[in-house]
Amino acid sequence: MAQYTPPIRDMQFVLHEVLKVEDAFKSMPAHAELDVDTINAVLEEGGKFAAGVLFPLNRSGDEEGCTLDPETHEVKTPEGFADAYRQFVDGGWAALSCDPDYGGQGLPVTLNQAFYEMLNSANQAWTMYPGLTHGAYDALHAHGTAEQKATYLPKLTSGEWTGTMCLTEPHAGTDLGLLRTKAEPRGDGSYAITGEKIFISSGEHDMAENIIHLVLARLPDAPAGSRGISLFVVPKFNVNGDGSLGARNGIYCGAIEHKMGIHGNSTCQMVLNNAVGTLVGEPHKGLAAMFVMMNAARLGVGMQSLGLTEVAYQNAVAYAKDRVQSRALSGAKAKDKAADPIIVHPDVRKMLLTARAYAEGGRALAMQVALLIDQAQNAPDEAARRDAEAAVALLTPIVKAFLTDNGWLATSHCMQVFGGHGFIREWGMEQYVRDNRINMIYEGTNTIQSLDLLGRKVLGDQGAQLKKFGAQIQQFAMANMSDARMQEFLAPLADLGEKVTKLTGEIGMKAMANPEEVGSAAVDYLRVVGHLVFAYLWARMARVALDKAEGGDPFYAAKLVTARFYFAKLLPETASLIRTARAGVAPLMAMEEDWF
């Protein structure tokens, strides 16, 4: 049977010993009073909810799935999901990092992200319901009118209402400029919205009394393409002036998508038939407002794969210690048994350490980006806020794509550790693989993230933000270069930094002659930069562990072993990626279309 223990100790290590979040929060008036004990208490209680309430529903939710009543268009979620959501709301978890002006607790995003990692490990399909609600909250908080904020934010904050993002249409996919959903003025400041949306996670369910849809549509005078898209808030039930629920709105679930994974989440085909909505932000500028939610979702998807990587790793380790098969090549290790536990075999250890290194590196990256978000929102200095916001923009596609690629590799490795049993449902491993696969696709495929990183975030500003990140690495290296123990981490980090600088310049020059060179190199490039970020964070973690391992705590000894594994076995992947990125577009485009 599957198991899950929240990785509280490692979270505390990243937050308190590596990132030193308490010191960072002291510089932010909104969080200046937050101390280590409060942070740890929230983590402990959040872990109890994730492991005790959500995790037991993961397998049953996958097996039962969601069901649609075609007559009423109502969706029933798996048994126990709605009750777990009530406990989530009653516990105040929905409001953890929300604005106190709307009933939130006002705690840092960093703490909320740590909580959501545990929720995703416990039950990704369930976690998507409140996760998307947070995104809707963020978009309305940033771009909603005063009336929209007063109407929707308190209920989204409390969790009494949930939210969705309705972007994709059957013919459009990621290319939102092709969408056809129409919004006609009704003469009273509202709009009648008609169209179809697909792949709408949490689009209809029985967990909350109202669902607030953020919908992209076109006004009658909209220009073609993405410059003609507007954003509307469309509730499942219209809201009366006094805040009570009114009549059922003209938006409903026409069908549930039959998916490879995340069966416990209702992925819906949504139909809008003169649904009443109100404009969010300015006409024809809906993408700018929706990007607030989209970027939050991209970070959230990275957290989903991080959560699955952690829980898959935990289960694979437990199995590898228990399962006996074959003898170690160097001779029997468990002489009292008919065979050795498979954890003695080098390749099993390689698979386990790959998952562990990607989980712990991913946790450090996720927490670093969350802290940057807190700084972007709360730093008293405007320049510091701008710098943090720019760093978040650079790192967001890496969180989304690198962590989900790593999650796919890690969950597949962990299933492999189980051998044939991993392919059998009762062990739970195949679900982690299935659930994780969507994370590389939605909220912008990982190719889209790679194009965003290379095309917009790096070449788009002539590498300015990437150079700032490189300066951080150089500053860290200079501060630690006198410690001989750090050379095994600093030397490959510096080497990769130089190679990234050179590769970036080469691609930029080639792209000036042929823009297709960006598309050819982007996926490899993102993975190389992802490894640069991980190598920097692993070097920082090794710095802390080196100073504390002498005390005999096995936690720090294990951290150093994992760091050395990462640098020895995973970072060298960058050599082949750089080579394939340099190969250019010619090998891809030489094939005539009718030769395929």
Note the pTM of the prediction, 2 decimals. Answer: 0.96
pLDDT, one tens digit per residue, over 416-434 is: 999 999 999 999 999 999 9
Give the domain-ending residue among 143, 171, 188.
143
Confirm whether 160 is a catalytic residue: no
Are residues 178 and 137 part of one domain? no
Structural tokens at position 571: 């970072």
Are residues 136 and 16 part of one domain? yes
The predicted pLDDT at position 175 comes to 77
- State the CATH number of the domain containing residue 260: 2.40.110.20
The predicted pLDDT at position 152 comes to 97
pLDDT, one tens digit per residue, over 130-139 is: 999 999 999 9
The predicted pLDDT at position 288 comes to 85
Q: Which of 443, 488, 506, 550 is catalytic?
A: 443
**Strand 161-166 to strand 210-217: parallel, antiparallel, or no bridges (unpaired)?**
parallel
Are residues 270 and 232 part of one domain? yes
Rounded to 10°, the helix 516-548/382-417 angle is 90
CA 333 → CA 316, 330, 418, 473, distances in Å?
A: 20, 9, 20, 43
Q: What mean pLDDT is predicted for residues 272-282?
A: 97
Residue in this structure with the two tokens 């075609």, named with its chain if needed: 70
Structural tokens at position 363: 């946790």
pLDDT mean across residues, the chain: 96
541 assigned to some structural domain: yes
362 assigned to some structural domain: no
Are residues 181 and 131 part of one domain? no
Structural tokens at position 353: 């350490």
> pLDDT category, 178, cuts 50, 70, 90?
confident
Give the domain-ending residue among 284, 306, 324.
284
Beta strands in 79-209 (DSSP E): 161-166, 182-185, 191-201
333 assigned to some structural domain: no
The predicted pLDDT at position 1 comes to 78
Virtual torsion, Cα 329, 330, 336, 342, nearest 10 deg: -40
Virtual torsion, Cα 433, 436, 442, 445, nearest 10 deg: -80
CA 588 → CA 374, 511, 523, 596, distances in Å?
A: 42, 15, 14, 12
pLDDT(346) > 90: yes
The predicted pLDDT at position 101 comes to 96
- Identify whether the C-beta of residue 81 lies closer than 8 Å to the C-beta of residue 61: yes
The predicted pLDDT at position 510 comes to 96
- Rounded CA separation 111/25 (Å): 11
Are residues 473 and 567 part of one domain? yes
CA 528 → CA 48, 348, 449, 473, distances in Å?
A: 37, 25, 14, 15
The predicted pLDDT at position 176 comes to 79
The predicted pLDDT at position 388 comes to 96
Q: What mean pLDDT is predicted for residues 265-274?
A: 97
278 assigned to some structural domain: yes
pLDDT, one tens digit per residue, over 157-176 is: 999 999 999 999 988 777 77
- Rounded CA separation 226/245 (Å): 33
**Helices (H), ranges, 379-463:** 382-417, 429-437, 446-451
Give the domain-ending residue among 86, 109, 143.
143
- Rounded CA separation 126/285 (Å): 32
The predicted pLDDT at position 549 comes to 84
Are residues 255 and 216 part of one domain? yes
Are residues 222 and 120 part of one domain? no
Q: What mean pLDDT is predicted for residues 42-55?
A: 98
pLDDT, one tens digit per residue, over 304-340 is: 999 999 999 999 999 999 999 999 899 998 999 999 8
For residue 20, the enclosing domain spans 8-67+75-143
The predicted pLDDT at position 294 comes to 83
441 assigned to some structural domain: no
pLDDT(359) > 80: yes
- Rounded CA separation 294/307 (Å): 20
Are residues 181 and 126 part of one domain? no
Q: What mean pLDDT is predicted for residues 497-511?
A: 97
Are residues 220 and 91 part of one domain? no
Q: What mean pLDDT is predicted for residues 395-411?
A: 98
The predicted pLDDT at position 242 comes to 93
> pLDDT category, 124, cuts 50, 70, 90?
very high
What is the separation of C-alpha 381 from the centre of its chain, rounded to a whole number of angstroms?
28
pLDDT(474) > 90: yes
pLDDT(383) > 80: yes
pLDDT(537) > 80: yes
480 assigned to some structural domain: yes
In total, how many domains does the chain have? 3
The predicted pLDDT at position 469 comes to 96
204 assigned to some structural domain: yes
pLDDT, one tens digit per residue, over 187-224 is: 999 999 999 999 999 999 999 999 999 999 999 999 99
> pLDDT category, 349, cuts 50, 70, 90?
very high
Q: Poorest-confidence range of 32-36, 37-41, 73-77, 169-173?
A: 169-173
Q: What mean pLDDT is predicted for residues 577-588?
A: 96
Identify which of 101, 114, 12, 1 has the alpha carbon closest to the alpha carbon of residue 59: 1
Are residues 212 and 113 part of one domain? no
Are residues 564 and 500 part of one domain? yes
Report angle CA 328, 334, 340 to the nearest 5 degrees. Answer: 45
Are residues 121 and 29 part of one domain? yes
In sequence order, what are the residues at sequence separation of 6 or more whose Cβ sits closer than 8 angstroms to the Cβ of residue 72?
none
> pLDDT category, 103, cuts 50, 70, 90?
very high
Structural tokens at position 47: 């872990």
- State the CATH number of the domain containing residue 12: 1.10.540.10
- Identify whether the C-beta of residue 73 lies closer than 8 Å to the C-beta of residue 252: yes
Beta-carbon count within 10 A of 404 CB: 31
* φ, ψ dihedrals at 338, nearest 5°: -70, -20
- Identify whether the C-beta of residue 141 lies closer than 8 Å to the C-beta of residue 149: yes
476 assigned to some structural domain: yes
The predicted pLDDT at position 149 comes to 97
The predicted pLDDT at position 592 comes to 93
In sequence order, what are the residues at sequence separation of 6 or more whose Cβ sits closer than 8 angstroms to the Cβ of residue 325?
339, 340, 342, 419
> pLDDT category, 551, cuts 50, 70, 90?
confident
